[in-house]
Structure 1
Amino acid sequence: MSFDDEWSRIRAGQAGVRLNQLDGGGGGGTQTPDLKSSPEAKKAAADAIQQVLDPDTRTAGDHADTATAAARAAFGGWQTASALQTVEETWNGQVKMLLGRLAGEQTALRGSGLSFRSQDLKTRDAYRSLIGEQGEN
């Protein structure tokens, strides 16, 4: 059998395949859970970042700076002092990067709640316009 003949048989056998299922079976409207969003949980997580994680990270970073500066002063004139300077610079960079990531996560959490709400309202309005209830609450 040539490649073309075999390919034609395969294509003919695939004509009835439908790609409307998720892995594990089911398509739309099955028992598979839908996407859910909890604005309250997102707000609580963003608040925890703002009120707990950010201040605690800054405090830990400052504590390490104080201890490293004291150790650097104690080892003044030794190579250890210059090595501690490198450690302090690296640490400060890592703390700054972590604070930036925390700020990004906080912004994303607050923004996603607004994004989901906005999309829900657009979807509601689209359905209302389809069934002639536009403008009603």
Structure 2
Amino acid sequence: MRLNQLAPGSGGAGAATLASTPGQKKAAADAIEKHLEPDTKKAGDTAEASTSAAVRELSGKDGEGWATAPALKKAHEAWEKQVKALMGRLGSEKSALRSTSNLLRNTDIGIGVQARQSSALDKL
């Protein structure tokens, strides 16, 4: 195996399908904001209500309920943590998509400024 060359047939660095435009990034961030986040929250709220009702019914009024009730409550608590983590991840991805264009543009501008700076060799 040689590490100083491309694999045969790769045709160059990176695949064209990995590239995206600022418009595509904006569309993805908008989809997260308008669909994924609200739909995830709605699903979480629905599950919260139905799971709480099931735990109440299975617990019994006299404390002699089914053993399923505490297990269901514990499973729901774990699921709730996962939903919160997913919501946080969606928010992070949305922010990253929205800031990527600015970051890349600012990096390009910074490199352009550095490249245009004159050096001591220019004066010779």
Provide TM-score, normalisation by structure 2. 0.71
Decide which of 81, 84, 93 is 1:96's aligned counterpart.
Answer: 84
Give the CA deviation at 1:127. Answer: 5.0
Alpha carbons 2:6, 2:12 under 8 Å: kept = no
* CA displacement at 1:88 relative to structure 2: 1.4
The equivalent of 2:44 in structure 1 is: 61
- 1:32 is aligned, of 3, 8, 12, to 12
Contact kept? 1:42, 1:109, Cα under 8 Å: yes
**Alignment partners' CA distance in 1, 2:36 and 2:116:** 43
Percent identical across equivalent pairs? 42
In structure 2, stretches of 5+ residues that fail to align are 60-64, 119-124
2:103 aligns with 115
For the 8 Å contact 1:39–1:113, the answer to whether it is kept is yes
- C-alpha deviation, 1:118, in angstroms: 0.9
5+ residue gaps, structure 1: 1-18, 26-30, 131-137
**Which protein is bigger by CA-based radius of gyration?**
1
Provide, for residues 16-35 of structure 1, a one-character-per-residue CA deviation record: whole Å limited to 9, x for no partner: xxx8x54137xxxxx63678
- CA positional deviation for 1:44: 1.1
1:13-67 deviations in Å (ceiling 9; x for gaps): xxxxxx8x54137xxxxx6367855111111111111111000000111111111
Distance change in 2, residues 1:125/1:22 (3 Å)? farther
Equivalence for 1:47 = 30
Deviation at 1:123, TM superposition (A): 3.5
**Contact 2:25 2:98 (8 Å CA) reproduced:** yes
Q: Considering only aligned residues, what root-mean-square deviation do their CA atoms show, in Å?
A: 2.4
Does the alignment pair 1:105 with 2:93? yes
TM-score under structure 1 length normalisation: 0.65
